[in-house]
Amino acid sequence: VAASSSAASASAVSGTLASSAAAGATTTIAASGSAVPATLPSGWLSTNPTAVPLSGINAAAPSASTQPLPSPSPAGTKPSHIPNAPGLPNAASIVVANYPALDKTPPTNSPEVQQWIAEVAASGVNIPTWSPNVAGGCAANPQAVADKSRCWWTCGGCTNATDVTTCPGKLHWGLTYDDGPAPYTPDLLNYLDSVNLKATFYVVGSRALSYPGLLQEEYLKGHEIAVHTWAHPQLTTLTNDQIIAELGWTKKIIKDVLGVTPLYMRPPYGDIDDRVRAICKAMNLIPVMWTRLSPTSTFDTADFDVHGGTATVSTVLSNWQGILANATSLNTGFIVLEHDLFQQTVEIATGYVLPDALAFTPKLTIEPVGTCLGLPAADSYIETNDNTTNPLPLQASSAPGSSGSSSSSGNSTAQSTSSAPAAHLTSGSLLALAAAFGAA
């Protein structure tokens, strides 16, 4: 399988779809509904027998029926996988008006944000004072790109010791899904249950407020919950106070729904530099990226882009096979960027990517990021973390399970940095949030 996949790996292991536009390059992707056939790559190992046909997974596909969304669980319910976890709060009593507007960066003058700003200031962490980037990615920010001290992941792939980018164990896959919970997430949860897999879900605060019962179901089923900001902005384009508001409100709504506060976060679009990292550290958050081989090659399936018509399902599956080919050559495990926001992303995951991964030889160990780092599930949350084995980020000098240090691999971008207007979620339906979210 690795041999048949290797030809695809040079171009397929990627953030090359939306990201090329951000870097000023031109990339042509056959739009959904074009003459390009949707076919499985050669050497494909397994497909879910109930999978949606590839020809039916595209931007023009009609909305599939969704399962009834779960209501909040009774207050006091405890997850079986974390014995020392507190009981669930009464999520049914959450007052939406007490939270910021959906999918908009929260204002910074609220009492809550002012308290978080004061806590960051008192943390002792040195927060860089450089100005935020402007929208438009690397091409629009040449000075930031040239300043290697910023360690800007978007433009060159620079990481430092606080970033999680791989799983330590060879062929261990840290399974992650971004941007939910959303109406098609139950389909993904049901499939994961059927094959006994757990994942890490990077939760958008606005979605947690919209679907508290679904967030509780993810958590109670044993999946790991992490922070993905309130409104999914490019964090390097925000002021320090705005970043604090984005992270603070997301931490708050997750705790208000689950009773625990995540220790892990993923920056939307992978857009992080040392200013954002410092704020994360001050707020006890560990950045989790996805595996990157070079400035232009990352373990991004580009599944998100199918919904908007800028990638085909065939491209995503070729990307996946390229990822597998490269994963076998790594001395570590790997982390892949995927999403549970849209019908198409869930159909690709449950119908094709996960079945293929389960049939892969040599066998992959598929698990949440915290588990792949060798930590118990309890160590993923502030309230249940064991500080004797897993120091809180504010006291730690490196990420859990990490032996890496700061590095830079060039100044080309491998991530989309496009900006778009915010969208609002209406009850009972999934809006076209691609307009608000971009591609990560």
Q: Which of these, 415, 433, 416, lies nearest to 424 by C-alpha position?
A: 433
> What is the phi/psi pair of residue 334, to 5°?
-155, 160
Q: State both tokens at 44.
A: 């494909």
Listed in sequence order, the DSSP H helices in 155-310 are 185-194, 205-210, 212-220, 240-258, 274-282, 304-308
Residue 76, Cα to own-chain centre: how many angstroms?
29
DSSP state string for 78-118: --TT-TTPPPPP-GGG--GGGSPPTTSPPPS-SHHHHHHHH
Q: State both tokens at 101.
A: 């507007």
Q: List the catalytic residue out of 256, 339, 340, 379.
A: 339
Instruction: Give strand pairing partners of 288.
Output: 164
Amino acid at 409: S
Question: To which H or E segment does residue 203 belong?
Answer: strand 200-203
Q: Are 134 and 418 in contact (CB under 8 A)?
A: no
Say how far apart CA 256 and CA 58 lie, in whole Å: 36
SS3 assignment, position 436 = helix
Q: List the catalytic residue out of 163, 178, 273, 379.
A: 178
Q: Is 339 a catalytic residue?
A: yes
DSSP state string for 307-374: HHTSS-HHHHHHHHHHHHHHHTT-SS-EE-B-B-SSHHHHHHIIIIIHHHHHH-SSPPEEE-HHHHTT
Give the chain's length: 440
Q: Is 187 a catalytic residue?
A: no
Report long-range pairs for 67-72 (Cβ below 8 Å, ≥24 apart): 67/186, 67/187, 67/190, 69/183, 69/186, 69/211, 69/213, 69/214, 70/186, 70/213, 70/214, 70/216, 70/217, 71/213, 72/212, 72/213, 72/216, 72/257
Burial class (CB in 10 A: 0-12, 13-18, 19+), 383: middle
Using DSSP, how many helices (H) and how many strands (E) does the chain show? 16, 10
SS3 assignment, position 300 = strand
Catalytic annotation, residues: 178, 339
